[in-house]
């Protein structure tokens, strides 16, 4: 499992049961590119879906990730205990 987590409680993950060394390198390079782009672009949350849950979208040269809140943070948001 590869996990990209950023400030604010947003995260994205990919699951691969038995990645090869080359796949591990590709996942790590992708996560580093997305992380650097997140920092440089000052990405901000936007709302999506029927519940208008906050997500952060990061896109670089051909790579894209949608970072979502954890389940506890999503519940806090829905109950009004967490803001964007």
The answer to whether residue 47 scores a pLDDT higher than 90 is yes
Give alpha helix (H) positions in the chain.
Answer: 21-41, 71-78
Residue 39 pLDDT > 90: no
With CA atoms as reference, report the closest residue to 38 among 62, 15, 10: 10
Count, residues in the chain: 84
For the record, the structure tokens of 6 come out as 């950023």
- For strand 10-14 and strand 2-6, is the pairing parallel, antiparallel, or unpaired? antiparallel
51-84 tens-digit pLDDT: 899 999 888 877 788 899 988 889 999 999 987 7
């Amino acid at each position: 499992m590869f996990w990209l987590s950023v400030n604010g409680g947003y995260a994205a993950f990919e699951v691969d049961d038995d990645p090869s060394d080359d796949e591990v390198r590709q996942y790590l390079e992708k996560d580093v590119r997305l992380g650097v782009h997140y920092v440089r672009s000052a990405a901000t949350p936007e709302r999506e879906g029927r519940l208008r849950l906050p997500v952060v979208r990061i896109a670089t040269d051909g790579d894209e990730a949608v970072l979502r809140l954890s389940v506890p943070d999503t519940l806090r948001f829905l109950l009004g205990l967490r803001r964007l």
